[in-house]
């Protein structure tokens, strides 16, 4: 299976390292031999039909000094570095079976990542995206494009990173009907709310602590304003409930204005305040006032399965026949997200989409 990887940051690096470390196991268990034939970052591309090694790619990245280098600076036998090239052109010109998209998520401008996915699927490649941006703004169109080109589109790392939220939802939906989903899908906001509850901190102090520990970006808007959670709600609603939704269909409010007193009062009543993404499957996605998709602060039972600490994620599925099922796990991390990509690649391979 020949892979084009777009983005060589935390997730991309973890993926290339993992594919090397698991090469023997993937072949033994699945007959799968993945080969990364092209890597693209913001400075250019590295291409090698026989495969690129993690060591050579990492060396090229560090050669720029202060981590500022590009994979285009690759120095390895049989590899070619291309500086300042247009990613879409390189994708179209590379003979490969699967594209893996790991560039930064942006909902405001998802056009670049969308271009990468379109170029790949248009050229007959399957696509794996951990980038939520294109899926949040145009998932129905991307699903159609994949079907039109008879290729597979996978995105399990977009919700829950390594925790298999989408796979679990699909399994549950196969035998029962999912009536409602409630999820704590953003680690940064959960960390902040947990600190406010357990350490009695203000929102600002808890946010500063989250930034200090590397849980939050210096610009945490996408997290604290609920946008990140909303992207995951859209992906879940479409993947499992076939709602055909986009981010505009979600009623969103974040946690910026949460007062310490609200968190304290809830705790006194035996409840914890969380940022909850919710899908009500009994209402259509665009159901007006009774909108099916929402994100906002809400309460969960203190000490219950959804009362997860720090930056942990949790998703509660309410089923028509079987009651509730709650999945708890880590929702972020380069290695964690890379495991989801490997799962997708294995799935594509088993469904006959792996090339040679
Ligand atoms: N990290 C997580 O825990 C996690 C979890 C789930 C999902 N995700 C998603 O996974 C994606 C990657 O996350 P990350 O943490 O690996 O991000 P990251 O460390 O910031 O890496 C992003 C990579 O994309 C490259 N890039 C940026 N713009 C590009 C462009 N126009 N063309 C080609 N390459 C470009 C960057 O190039 P340079 O190296 O040249 O800067 C960098 O290599 C994001 O969409 C994120 O939302 C991440």
Cβ 302 under 6 angstroms from ligand 1: no
Phi, psi of 155 (to 5 degrees): -155, 35
Q: Are 36 and 100 in contact (CB under 8 A)?
A: no
pLDDT for position 231: 97
pLDDT tens for each residue of 4-26: 999 999 999 999 999 999 999 99
3-state secondary structure of 133: helix
The number of the ligand 1 atom at minimal distance from the alpha carbon of 41 is 34
The H or E element containing residue 99 is strand 98-101
For residue 207, how far is its CA from the centre of ligand 1 (angstroms)?
Answer: 23
pLDDT for position 283: 81
pLDDT for position 63: 86
For residue 8, how far is its CA from the centre of ligand 1 (angstroms)?
Answer: 7
Catalytic residues: 232
Structure-derived torsion over alpha carbons of residues 98, 112, 149, 34, reported in degrees to the nearest 10 = 0
Cα–Cα distance measured from residue 89 to residue 42, given in angstroms and rounded to the nearest whole number: 14
pLDDT for position 285: 61
Write out the two tokens for 20.
């090397």
pLDDT for position 155: 98
Residues of the chain short of pLDDT 70, as ranges, are 65-67, 284-290, 355-356
Cβ 115 under 6 angstroms from ligand 1: no
pLDDT tens for each residue of 261-320: 999 999 999 999 999 999 998 886 665 545 799 999 999 999 999 999 999 999 999 999
Write out the two tokens for 321.
């026949």
3-state secondary structure of 242: coil
pLDDT for position 286: 61
- From the list 65, 66, 87, 83, the residue with the least C-alpha distance to 74 is 83
Q: Are 59 and 23 in contact (CB under 8 A)?
A: no
Write out the two tokens for 329.
């796990």
Testing ligand 1's pocket by substitution, the residue of 8, 9, 164 carrying the most ligand atoms inside 8 A of its CB is 9
Cβ 112 under 6 angstroms from ligand 1: yes
Cβ 170 under 6 angstroms from ligand 1: no
For residue 253, how far is its CA from the centre of ligand 1 (angstroms)?
Answer: 26
Cα–Cα distance measured from residue 222 to residue 224, given in angstroms and rounded to the nearest whole number: 6
pLDDT for position 329: 97
Q: What angle do CA 177, 167, 349 make, to 5 degrees?
A: 135
Cα–Cα distance measured from residue 262 to residue 268, given in angstroms and rounded to the nearest whole number: 10
Q: What angle do CA 340, 345, 349 make, to 5 degrees?
A: 150
Write out the two tokens for 300.
């969960």
Strand 153-154 and strand 251-252: the pairing is unpaired
Phi, psi of 285 (to 5 degrees): -55, -40
Tokens 């909303």, residue located: 230
Cα–Cα distance measured from residue 70 to residue 83, given in angstroms and rounded to the nearest whole number: 8
Residue nearest to atom 44 of ligand 1 (CA): 104
Cβ 334 under 6 angstroms from ligand 1: yes
Cα–Cα distance measured from residue 320 to residue 32, given in angstroms and rounded to the nearest whole number: 38
Testing ligand 1's pocket by substitution, the residue of 4, 11, 109, 112 carrying the most ligand atoms inside 8 A of its CB is 11
Q: Are 127 and 151 in contact (CB under 8 A)?
A: yes
Q: Are 1 and 32 in contact (CB under 8 A)?
A: yes
Q: What angle do CA 253, 259, 263 make, to 5 degrees?
A: 95
Residue nearest to atom 15 of ligand 1 (CA): 10
Q: What is the DSSP letter of 331?
A: -
Write out the two tokens for 267.
């705790």
* 280 beta partners: 180
- From the list 312, 54, 353, 5, the residue with the least C-alpha distance to 186 is 312
The H or E element containing residue 5 is strand 2-6
- Percent of the chain at pLDDT > 70 equals 97
Q: How many Cβ atoms are within 10 Å of 22's Cβ, its own excluded?
A: 16
Q: How many Cβ atoms are within 10 Å of 165's Cβ, its own excluded?
A: 29
Phi, psi of 78 (to 5 degrees): 85, -5
Phi, psi of 183 (to 5 degrees): -135, 140
Cα distances from 73 to residues 4, 79, 141, in angstroms, run: 17, 10, 36
């Amino acid at each position: 299976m020949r892979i084009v990887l777009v983005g060589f940051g935390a997730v991309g690096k973890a993926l290339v390292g993992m594919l090397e470390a698991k090469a023997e196991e993937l072949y033994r268990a699945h007959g799968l031999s993945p080969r990364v034939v092209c890597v693209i970052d913001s400075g250019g591309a590295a291409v090698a039909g026989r495969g690129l090694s993690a060591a050579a790619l990492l060396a090229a990245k560090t050669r720029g000094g202060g981590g500022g280098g590009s994979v285009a600076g690759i120095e390895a036998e049989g590899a070619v570095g291309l500086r300042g090239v247009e990613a879409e052109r390189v994708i179209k010109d590379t003979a490969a079976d699967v594209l893996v998209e790991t560039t930064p998520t942006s909902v405001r401008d998802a056009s670049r990542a969308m271009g990468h996915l379109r170029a790949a699927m248009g050229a007959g490649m399957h696509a794996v995206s951990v980038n939520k941006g294109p899926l949040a703004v145009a998932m129905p169109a991307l699903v159609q494009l994949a079907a039109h080109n008879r290729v597979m589109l996978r995105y399990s790392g977009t919700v829950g990173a390594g925790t298999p939220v989408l796979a679990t939802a699909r399994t549950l939906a196969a035998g029962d009907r999912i009536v409602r989903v409630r999820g704590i899908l953003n680690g940064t906001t959960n960390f902040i709310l947990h600190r406010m509850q357990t350490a009695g901190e203000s929102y600002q102090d808890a946010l500063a602590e989250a930034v200090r520990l590397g849980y939050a970006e210096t610009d945490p808007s996408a997290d604290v304003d609920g946008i990140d959670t909303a992207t995951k709600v859209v992906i879940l609603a479409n993947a499992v409930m076939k709602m055909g939704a986009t981010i505009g269909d979600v009623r969103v409010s974040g946690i910026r204005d949460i007062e310490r007193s609200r968190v304290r009062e809830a705790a006194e009543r035996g409840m914890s305040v969380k940022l909850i993404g919710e899908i009500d499957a009994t209402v259509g996605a665009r159901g007006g006032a009774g909108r099916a998709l929402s994100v906002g602060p809400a309460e969960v039972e203190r000490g219950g399965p959804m009362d997860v600490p720090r930056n942990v994620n949790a998703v509660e599925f309410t089923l028509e026949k079987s009651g509730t099922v709650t999945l708890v796990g880590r929702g972020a991390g380069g290695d964690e997200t890379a495991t989801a990509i490997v799962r997708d690649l294995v799935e594509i391979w088993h469904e006959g989409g792996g090339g040679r």
